[in-house]
């Protein structure tokens, strides 16, 4: 299937240097990015990635007596392309901090407790309808080092593959009703309020002991429909 | 007809799980004639970046992107000195393109992915030629032995690597 990738919309995608996020001024290129023509090199992508990136740990809330602390959540995430077509069999990587705001990563120096029953990383494969379901706990907020009072709101990181190399999506999902959402330098780098709103998960009714959130990840690319006669 | 807006990209952050970036830098474990690509990734003032994630996508030796025998895709993370390493094969030319390796860069402080390309020489290639003449040399890997190339990536500052928008 031929895929078309259109230029990013500056209203719905962040633009590089953000005043509230000091590192962006040291890392985002000072020179303008270069537009390039697309060929098979950019409009193809890895196949069979699930073999190189096998699924790991589908339940972050823990097992048996080894249950992670925090509000139990179930995340229902659907991966779609711009045509709304679901992407089955695509790899999704998920990571987030524990309920106290601490990541499993050794570089996290935040003075918050480690939860021995929480391992905040999973890799999943979407099902036939592009869906993944993940049981986990609600991540905490945490202060950003050397940031003069910036606290990250609770969020979940996603890394996902679309149909082609240029469809690669790395993003973060937020929770509704969090006051820190209003001041977060990363969420608010998205200028369009509707696009920003789509980065916030939707709480849906639950009949179990888990709060259920639904979310969509839309990867770049749409079908290059053959011209109708 | 349905038309969805792509989800906003956001930074990888500093805490991408280490195990996600391990064991994926070698695309050619069995291949004779493999090449090594190494480099250092730096920010403003040449400061090296730790735990930055690089992904590559390339053709096989015959210039094909749909090879069944060669994965074409790999991932590596920089060490505390900013160094990364891939082991792969030299890609062939695909129609209309010179041999090249696509690089994608993810890191905290990068609000969205950055894309660049390593070429093997100053070739006649439409993507290399989209870059202004005086900066093209920054996209050509430096051969340091018959089987190894160096491709340093400077995100910002002097001799800044050219990056592409798509």
Is B46 touching A (CB cutoff 8 A)? Answer: no
What ipTM does this complex have? Answer: 0.96
Residues 6+ apart with CB under 8 A from A63: none
pLDDT (average), residues A38-61: 90
**Residues B18-154, CATH architecture:** Sandwich (2.60)
Over residues A157-201, the pLDDT tens digits come to 999 999 999 999 999 999 999 999 999 999 999 999 999 999 999
Q: How far out from the chain centre does Cα A220 lie?
A: 14
Which residues 97-156 of B are in CB contact (within 8 Å) with A? Answer: 97, 100, 102, 104, 106-115, 126-127, 130-131, 135, 155-156
Q: What is the pLDDT of residue A70?
A: 97
pLDDT at B114 over 70: yes
Whole-number Å distance between alpha carbons of B71 and B31:
12
What DSSP character marks residue B26? B
Q: What is the pLDDT of residue A196?
A: 98
Query: Which residue in A has a C-alpha nearest to residue B11's C-alpha?
Result: A171
**Residues A49-223, CATH architecture:** Sandwich (2.60)
Q: Determine the length of chain A.
A: 229
Read off the pLDDT band of B1 (50, 70, 90).
low
pLDDT at A42 over 80: yes
Provide the mean pLDDT of chain A. Answer: 94
Q: What is the pLDDT of residue A64?
A: 82
Over residues B39-55, the pLDDT tens digits come to 999 999 999 999 999 99
Query: Which residue in A has a C-alpha nearest to residue B8's C-alpha?
Result: A13
DSSP chain A: --EE-PPPPTTTS--S--TT-TTHHHHS-SSPPEE----TTTS---SSHHHHS--B--BTTEETTEEPSS-EEEEEEEEE-TT--B-TT-EEEEE---TTS--SSTT---SS---TT---EEEEE--TTSEEEEEEEPPPPEEPTTSSS-EEPSEEEEEE--SSGGG-EEEEEE-TT-GGGGG-TTGGG--SHHHHHTTB-EEE--SSSSEEEEEEEE-S-EE-PPPP-
Token reading at A109: 């120096």
User: In this predicted model, which residue has the larger pLDDT, A219 or A2?
Assistant: A219
Mutation for testing the B interface, residue in A94, A168, A170, A214 having most B CBs under 10 Å:
A170
Q: Which residues pair with A203 in a beta bridge?
A: A213
Residues A163 and A169: beta-carbon distance below 8 Å: no
3-class secondary structure, B30:
coil
Residues A30 and A16: beta-carbon distance below 8 Å: no
Whole-number Å distance between alpha carbons of A177 and A65:
31
Phi and psi at residue B51, in whole multiples of 5°? Answer: 65, 30
Q: What is the pLDDT of residue B33?
A: 82
Over residues A7-16, the pLDDT tens digits come to 999 999 999 9
Whole-number Å distance between alpha carbons of A188 and A197:
10
Q: What is the pLDDT of residue A229?
A: 42
Q: Judge if pTM exceeds 0.90.
A: yes
Taking the CA of residue B127 as centre, how many other CA atoms within 13 Å lie in the half-sphere pointing to its CB?
26
Over residues B55-92, the pLDDT tens digits come to 999 999 999 998 888 999 999 999 999 999 999 999 99
SS (H, E, C) B39-89: EEEECHHHCECCCCEEEEEECCCCCCCCCCCCCCEEEEECCCCCEEEEEEC
Over residues A96-143, the pLDDT tens digits come to 999 999 999 999 999 999 999 999 999 999 999 999 999 999 999 999
Taking contacts as CB-CB distances below 8 angstroms, the residues of chain B near A198 are 5, 7-8
Token reading at B75: 């991932």
Q: How far is A26 from chain B (nearest CA, A)?
A: 5
């Amino acid at each position: 299937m031929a895929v078309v990738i259109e230029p990013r919309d500056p209203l719905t995608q962040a633009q590089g240097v953000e005043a509230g996020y000091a590192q962006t001024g040291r890392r985002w290129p000072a020179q303008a990015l270069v537009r390039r023509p697309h060929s098979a090199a950019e409009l193809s992508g890895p196949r069979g990635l699930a073999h190189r990136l096998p699924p790991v740990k589908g339940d972050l809330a823990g097992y048996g007596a080894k249950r992670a602390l925090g509000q139990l959540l179930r995340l229902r995430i659907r991966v779609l392309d711009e045509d709304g077509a679901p992407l089955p069999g695509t790899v999704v990587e998920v990571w987030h901090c524990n309920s106290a705001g601490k990541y499993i990563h050794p570089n996290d120096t935040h003075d918050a407790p480690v939860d021995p029953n929480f391992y905040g990383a999973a890799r999943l494969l979407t099902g036939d309808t592009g869906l993944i379901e993940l049981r986990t706990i609600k991540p905490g907020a945490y202060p950003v080092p050397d940031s003069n009072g910036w606290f990250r709101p609770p969020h979940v990181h996603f890394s996902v593959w679309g149909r082609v190399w240029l469809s690669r999506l790395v993003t973060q999902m937020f929770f509704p009703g969090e006051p820190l959402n209003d001041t977060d330098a990363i969420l608010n780098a998205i200028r369009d309020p509707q696009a920003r709103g789509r980065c916030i998960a939707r709480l849906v009714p639950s009949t179990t002991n888990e709060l259920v959130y639904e979310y969509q990840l839309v990867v770049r690319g749409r079908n290059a429909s053959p011209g109708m006669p | 007809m349905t038309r969805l807006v792509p989800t906003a990209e956001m930074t990888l952050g500093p805490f991408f799980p280490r195990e996600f970036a391990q064991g994926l830098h070698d695309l050619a474990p069995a291949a004779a004639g493999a090449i090594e690509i190494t480099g250092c990734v730096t920010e403003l003032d040449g400061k090296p970046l730790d735990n930055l994630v690089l992904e590559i996508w390339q053709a096989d030796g015959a210039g094909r992107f749909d090879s069944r025998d060669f994965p074409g895709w790999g991932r590596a993370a920089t060490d505390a000195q900013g160094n990364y390493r891939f082991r792969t094969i030299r890609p062939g030319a695909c129609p209309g393109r010179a041999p090249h390796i696509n690089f994608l860069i993810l890191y905290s402080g990068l609000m969205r992915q950055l894309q660049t390309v390593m070429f093997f020489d100053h070739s006649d290639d439409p993507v290399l030629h989209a870059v202004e003449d005086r900066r093209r040399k920054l996209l050509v890997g430096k051969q340091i032995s018959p089987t190894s190339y160096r491709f340093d990536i400077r995100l910002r500052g002097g001799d800044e690597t050219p990056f592409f928008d798509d």
